[in-house]
Structure 1
């Protein structure tokens, strides 16, 4: 006999599905309404005055007055808001700043406002409700649900609270889910990740867990600890575990491993959240891609990734996007981000409705575990390790090793030395320390024992030239990517016998 909560979830899910279908079936009109709302509401902000928002009537006006920016470009405005100034990027003050790992200047502070905060919460809720509406599965709503996330402890400065996005969102769990939610608030506040996961295992071991959510690499650690503690696979331990909700990294490399840890298949929902906004979620179990949230106070623009670094790349709105084209996604939001380059690249899988997948980052990167390591960071790590030494490097590339034969996953560096280090271990330790210092996500993964320190595999002299020749890209403007989010290059280096 279903509970009252389970029974009520179905009509609520139908209502939400109806509302979503209403705006998703009129995507251009929906985005036009969002656009005009954003411009109107921000006219009297500092940014709005600086960019003459009062005279912006069309999207073409907007493009001519508001250039595409990244965090560094927007930073002068953000710093004013951080200091407590009102009406800088959006009305009043932000209510939060989501603190994230920066790529060029340390931490980034992404504003979250009274108007933007509900969109983060509602999108996560709606993803679950659309799953209920599609499948009719409501059994899980009566069981325990776990959301593996950052600490909800927040700092405060100038009347604005600071913290990680997942910690901020933890304060907005609906009352009807509070009794089902795990872990306890006290456990959620533990900063040391390994200690935290051990505590979560103890808290959940004998509970009826039905929904588990988090970044796959973190959840994998939780599953492995559960198995070690109980001697059972996750599916036998949690017989009513029905739904896995994930985001942050591509799940496919993990899927086989997860099904092995669980012992059976479970339904999953993919999310596309970020500090800058909750952009999309999987709305259908058997459709590829996630439904773009066109009615969440976010106006989207797109630039073809292939032309992003041109002098004047074309910016287009949702009505002009095409299938199977790699786009850089640009956003303007009720949090006060204007023509902001999030850094993600997306590819549309459907235009009726608009569904997309995250295809990567506009710059080469590694984020197989949510670490967001970029080219600048690996180059700096190598520079730090070779400083004041005779070590010289001809070429290198870095790839993740997600499924090693034994031990924890790691980043594998393929390096062709001109002059090798006398002590390879010292060299590796110097790179490792530099990476951890530069990138807080990577540091968390190492300290949380999700990743082990990097490994160096030496490449034979002229090995990279041999590789480039084998793929028809020797010479000219062709370059080895400094890092990749897969092992295509790594596997080919091994296949060609180019490793020492």
Structure 2
């Protein structure tokens, strides 16, 4: 694939989506029909209809034995017609333990293509955005190896360590590569901020792969701005930055002391409220770019508060399994984001959701507006009709390529009795409840939930980490306001929940447990210690880990319980 790109190619790809998808499937089958996995179903054939008739729809557990065989040293042709050169590690925070997925270096070309496409689209909508630099919070994590010696790491880490990243035409980031590639994430975060502050007049966008990393960066800045100001004032890097290549590169960017800049940063950071802190520190910022769909939607209110509602762009839809598509309307509200699927990356099919025993699978161009589907992926690296577990709703078409809104992860639900409360239900309920917090000048910094069946009847527990909008103010937890939040959340849930809660008494009153500040950072550390990527981490909407629950419950400051049944 050519890595050069212009917007005319977007038109060609989306106009010819059907033919391109057929070509992609033919190429995948030609390369892989004689792999051990496909041969048992196709017997060497590359016929599309035979593929759809004989090759089963699978989940990770179905293909895990084949992946593990390659990881343990068997030849790649167990699952792939091309050599497997490494494995991607999933985040592990959406559906339990991290998974590994086989890839080769062509995946990085797909990443570069999607990134370039997205940048071209954003440049079309935001004038001169390509003229400045991006303060981008990218991080790498230490790689591990399979028994056969192949590298295993998160997709972002793999890309940042790849030749595609190293040989990119220019560095549009405020941070030198030595910072981005620093293996100590705390040192990297500090240096990202220091480089961004020193080059504040060049910053036109603030970005991170996922919204959680941006919120973590602001929290980090709150804790370290005085030290950062000292570094800027005297032109030195703090002694605890011990990574020598990182230290030397940042020292070069500092270029000596700058008292005027230190005074300016100090003045902005020392204010009562940090509302709009991003645009106050980086006044030329035209956009904040990060994934804010799905579980990351919980961070939208915080990012809007910190950015003074500058354009919040959710640019791409991607995963460890494949790149999917781009947001062709980047200036839409973050709650309204849809992604246009690119037909040249993988072969996509869609399983219609909630049709009872009826199984209906359709091709990319045959989906229907308004319907809900689970995406199936057939890629070049070993996945065949793989169930993503992502539930998507078709919102429209760009030419002949469908556009999808990310709705939820399939298996991420709360349930006590017969009800199933999804991610979408939880986010909708929170959107109704969080405005109530505004009356007490509180920000919801993090949340998760849990179906507590240790009580009778069982009940939902929401863990909230709150923060005062004004710096250094003591958080005042008003019982009336927090209890009202409990009630509003319950009233926002579906009719089955409300019936079981109010009429039948099968579900107990919903509870909010407010935890100490920093608790969700401790939660993140647990998941990272278990293999989650710092760059890809998102707080799970629903917690099942006993270790994580113990951390949450050990940090509870106060408990509030709904005092009325929701109307049914």
TM-score computed with the length of structure 1 as normaliser = 0.71
Equivalent residue of 1:347, what SS? strand
The residue number in structure 2 matching 1:51 is 41
Q: 1:327: how far off?
A: 0.9
Q: In angstroms, what is the RMSD of aligned CA positions?
A: 4.1
Rounded to whole Å, the distance in 2 between the matches of 1:185 and 1:315 is 44
Provide, for residues 339-371 of structure 1, a one-character-per-residue CA deviation record: whole Å limited to 9, x for no partner.
1111111111112432111111112355989x9
The residue number in structure 2 matching 1:326 is 372
Which has the higher mean CA deviation after the structures are superposed, 324-333 or 210-219?
210-219
Superposition pairs of residues 12-411 of structure 1, within 5 angstroms? 16-52=6-42, 54-58=44-48, 60-85=49-74, 86-102=76-92, 106-132=97-123, 134-135=124-125, 137=127, 139-151=128-140, 153-157=142-146, 158-171=148-161, 172-173=164-165, 175-176=167-168, 178-189=170-181, 193-194=185-186, 196-207=188-199, 208-214=202-208, 215-226=210-221, 229=225, 230=265, 231-232=267-268, 233-247=277-291, 249-250=293-294, 253-263=298-308, 265-266=310-311, 268-285=313-330, 289-296=338-345, 298-307=346-355, 310-311=356-357, 313-353=359-399, 354-365=402-413, 392-399=455-462, 401=464
Summarize the Cα distance change of 1:247–1:84 in structure 2 as closer, same or farther, 3 Å threshold.
Answer: farther
CA contact (8 A) 1:332 1:340 kept: yes
Summarize the Cα distance change of 1:396–1:435 in structure 2 as closer, same or farther, 3 Å threshold.
Answer: farther
The residue number in structure 1 matching 2:256 is none
Rounded to whole Å, the distance in 1 between the matches of 2:366 and 2:316 is 24
Summarize the Cα distance change of 1:249–1:441 in structure 2 as closer, same or farther, 3 Å threshold.
Answer: farther
Summarize the Cα distance change of 1:180–1:351 in structure 2 as closer, same or farther, 3 Å threshold.
Answer: closer
Q: 1:186: how far off?
A: 4.2
Q: 1:47: how far off?
A: 1.3
CA contact (8 A) 1:81 1:93 kept: no
CA contact (8 A) 2:304 2:310 kept: yes
Rounded to whole Å, the distance in 1 between the matches of 2:216 and 2:525 is 22
CA contact (8 A) 2:140 2:185 kept: no
The residue number in structure 1 matching 2:552 is 453
Which has the higher mean CA deviation after the structures are superposed, 253-262 or 321-330?
253-262
Summarize the Cα distance change of 1:203–1:53 in structure 2 as closer, same or farther, 3 Å threshold.
Answer: farther
CA contact (8 A) 2:95 2:412 kept: no
Equivalent residue of 2:350, what SS? strand
Rounded to whole Å, the distance in 2 between the matches of 1:183 and 1:83 is 37
Summarize the Cα distance change of 1:48–1:144 in structure 2 as closer, same or farther, 3 Å threshold.
Answer: same
The residue number in structure 2 matching 1:480 is none
Rounded to whole Å, the distance in 2 between the matches of 1:200 and 1:286 is 26
Q: 1:306: how far off?
A: 1.0
Equivalent residue of 2:28, what SS? helix
TM-score computed with the length of structure 2 as normaliser = 0.63
CA contact (8 A) 2:293 2:314 kept: no
CA contact (8 A) 1:152 1:188 kept: no
Equivalent residue of 1:55, what SS? coil
Rounded to whole Å, the distance in 2 between the matches of 1:67 and 1:327 is 17
Q: Which blocks of at least 5 consecutive residues in structure 1 are unaligned?
A: 1-11, 384-390, 419-423, 472-500
Summarize the Cα distance change of 1:400–1:35 in structure 2 as closer, same or farther, 3 Å threshold.
Answer: farther
Provide, for residues 220-272 of structure 1, a one-character-per-residue CA deviation record: whole Å limited to 9, x for no partner.
23234446623432213222222322126456654453343223523624211
Q: Which blocks of at least 5 consecutive residues in structure 2 are unaligned?
A: 226-264, 269-276, 414-422, 428-443, 470-474, 476-485, 491-500, 509-513, 540-548
CA contact (8 A) 1:241 1:266 kept: no
CA contact (8 A) 2:174 2:203 kept: no
Equivalent residue of 1:116, what SS? helix
Rounded to whole Å, the distance in 1 between the matches of 2:83 and 2:169 is 30
Rounded to whole Å, the distance in 2 between the matches of 1:248 and 1:110 is 24
Summarize the Cα distance change of 1:458–1:152 in structure 2 as closer, same or farther, 3 Å threshold.
Answer: closer
Residue-pair matches, total? 418
CA contact (8 A) 1:150 1:164 kept: no
Which has the higher mean CA deviation after the structures are superposed, 257-266 or 335-344?
257-266
CA contact (8 A) 1:30 1:294 kept: yes
Superposition pairs of residues 457-472 of structure 1, within 5 angstroms? 457=559, 459=561, 466-467=565-566, 470-471=567-568
CA contact (8 A) 1:220 1:258 kept: yes
Q: 1:87: how far off?
A: 1.1
Equivalent residue of 2:214, what SS? helix
